Amino acid sequence: MVTLIAFHPDMLQLIVQTKLLKFIIQLIDAKYSVTIRSNAVLAISLLTYHQTLFNELINNNVIDMVMNLCMDPRLELSIKRYSTLALVHFALSRESISILLDKGVMDLFSALSVIDNAQIHTDVSWIFLALCNNGITGQQMLQNGITRDMFLVSCNPQFSQIRHLVIAGFAELGRADNLQE
């Protein structure tokens, strides 16, 4: 339902008025089935595209919830896939990049590097590119082990479809380091 609503901007005010967002956030709780939780995270991911709801998501600490889902090593893969997608949508917004950094998004790379899933690595590559585009330096990436993790992704033949994201991120890192000098 929320997926359909997300594509109809005239419904956004109704989502806020009926407190549908709070209901969706509650569905992330572990007491619900994997399918319900996955769909709730997907709905949140789709709602980040709308400024009205984006601010509501930030104010309801949804980034914390999504980061916790991504970092939980015991969590089901489907929930992790939608959680990383939601983080991509947050990372692609300049408004929330500093929030993600404050919440420890740099630790996400090592936590997810052990998962052998193309979608998750694609999402992590998008987050990497977003961080690189927003002034994170190569030294910060190196200190956090992200350079190594992303290099391994770019060298993995299984992930050849996302290699361009990683290369673009490295290119942006080089440009950002030159600008700082």
5-23 pLDDT, tens digit each:
666 667 767 777 777 888 8
Domain spans, the chain: 1-92, 104-181
Q: What is the pTM of this model?
A: 0.84
Q: What b/e readout covers 70-91, taking b as 16+ CB neighbours within 10 angstroms?
A: bbeeebeeebbbbbbbbbbbbb
Q: Provide the residue type at 36 as one letter.
A: I
Helix (H) or strand (E) holding 54: helix 51-59
Q: Burial of 138 by CB count in 10 Å (0-12 exposed, 13-18 middle, 19+ buried)?
A: middle
Task: Say how many C-beta atoms besides its own lie within 10 A of residue 52's C-beta.
Answer: 14
14-68 pLDDT, tens digit each:
777 777 888 889 999 999 999 999 999 988 888 887 777 788 888 888 999 999 9
